[in-house]
Amino acid sequence: MELQGLSAPPMANGEVVFDAPWQSRVFGMARALCEQGMFTWDEFREQLILQIETCGNDSDYQYFSHFFDALTILLEKKQLFSKAELMVLSDQFAARPHGHDHSH
C-alpha cells in the first residue's frame, strides 16, 4: 500500500484538499443538492461508504471517484436523473474540439 503524502513534511498544513477542480465541483454539487433537500447527507454518506467498501482499499483507491459514483447512484435511485443521459452528454463533451470555450 502506497503511503501517499504521509511521509511529506508534517508542517505542510496548506496541503491541497482537492487534486483537481472537478473534485471540488463534485463536492459542491453533492452539498448543494443536499442543502436543497434532494437527499439527506446521511443518505449520501451511506451510499459513499457502500462504494468505498465495494471497491475495497486497493491501490487504485480514488476517493472522489467513489464520491462521484455515490452521487450518481443516489440521484438515479431518487429518479432525479439517469446515467444514460450522463453517458450521452459525456460522449458529446469528449468529442468537442480542443480549445473550446471551457466553462471552468
Partner 1 sequence: MADESPQEIRAEALESILIEKGLLTAEAVDDVITRYSEQVGPMNGARLVARAWVDPQFKKQLLTDATSVVKSFGFEGGQVEKLVVVENTNKVHNAVVCTLCSCYPWAVLGLPPKWYKDPAYRSRIVMEPRQLLSEMGVRLGHHVDIQVWDSSAEIRYMVLPMRPSGTQHLKEEQLAELVTRDSMIGVEVLPGKPS
* Binding residues for partner 1 (CB under 8 A): 1-7, 9-11, 13, 15-29, 31-36, 38, 41-42, 45, 48-49, 52, 57, 61, 63-65, 68, 71-72, 75, 80-81, 85-86, 89-90, 92-94, 98-99, 102-104
**Considering the complex, what minimum distance in angstroms separates the CB of residue 77 from partner 1?**
14
Q: What angle do CA 93, 97, 101 make, to 5 degrees?
A: 75
- Our CB check for partner 1 shows the closer of 11 and 77 to be 11
The C-alpha atoms of residue 70 and residue 50 are separated, in whole angstroms, by 8
The C-alpha atoms of residue 55 and residue 87 are separated, in whole angstroms, by 21
Cell 457502500 found at: 50
**Considering the complex, what minimum distance in angstroms separates the CB of residue 103 from partner 1?**
7
